[in-house]
Structure 1
């Protein structure tokens, strides 16, 4: 299965949300990174057919998704960022309703529900009303409804929002396990959620796709530009003026600062550091 996106454009009045977006996607996980206003949500909404593009094409195995209509929605699952749920429904009632909207039989819905509720540790709240659930539980219920019909294309907008670290890891591993025969898109601000499971990372800014490559390739592109400085506390203010700073921590009377620089910071005690995906984000998107 292949999704071919060609010259995709979308504007809201004078605001350009997507500009000449081009990419090809095959089975695997694609992490989408970018600051607010980068165009991530607009791209998601166009891929889900929730909004119309101004121009361009999205072809699934050679057929435009607009021409596929209902057939496309049958193989696409979507988990929105907002928790817009029917609070008076129980978890089971909500999932039965969502499955019925997709034309699934009750037997198939309940069978898939049994498996997914177990995978996402939701068995104990199956008969609770949605308004009784924590934000993290509601987030997992949203993922269950996206997976309920075993979609071939899975679109997830901030899927780990509200989850504690254990549930975030559990969810990340589950998504990775499910991706072997699916095209999965994950838009997130949490770099660690996609760093180790993504086939490729999309870097977006101001509606444009800046780069698209495996995480290790993106990291290699900024090798030689990431350094750790060991400085006295009183030097920190000056270092902040001179460099983009990632992490810092204090060690006794000294401060170790991770910085991004085109040149070696020879004025300070430093060592070159191996780039991380977080460094890539700061270097490519926070300028």
Structure 2
């Protein structure tokens, strides 16, 4: 136990030197996004981050906890969130981890040479260091993946919301512009979002502007028809505007009956008609 304490004190006493050496190697090594940003504005933050992990790793040699790697887990997950936010490629961070491990191990070898340490202790410390390093990498990569997926889902949700906006034009009418490829997932999102917003705002009529839709497949056509039927159940009349010939042909081939649904050649014609009715009223 005395030897473990000495190693702990050696590492913590040299923590600043270890992190300084790590940073020098990162800065003069292979040019990466991380090394550029570190040179420009993040040097002190990087030093603080790796000084923290140095203390956490040193602690495993003397810790009596059942899970002495808890601090390493917290550090790795915190770093993963920062790297995702900074859009740092995962391989660059793993390369920095490797550089850090080499620097720390070389400094530990200095301790072995300066102090009378038996082989059993060296082997045990080597094992503990490797376990800590592997655990750090595992926690980082796992949390990096989860954070990245969470961020991608948030971005996807935002894109879906922006790509299917229900735009009010009066208190009773709104426009739903449909643009680009309508795949199954997107039309399903459009369906749920549109129904929710029409229900919240009590619209009476919605103009489905399809002038930006080049083509649709069988599933999308049925989803579109289901949307119109669902809106009808909510008391909302759908008006289809700007349907191009390709989309019309698909609808006919599928036997979808649009004869009971108001159809206008363009959105502007539909809005002109709406304006004329309002003037007459």
Question: Normalised by the size of structure 2, how large is the TM-score?
Answer: 0.26
Considering fraction of residues, name the structure with more helix: 2
Q: Which structure has the bigger radius of gyration?
A: 2
Bigger relative contact order, structure 1 or 2 (CA pairs below 8 A, ≥6 apart): 1
TM-score, length of structure 1 as denominator length = 0.25
Higher strand share: 1
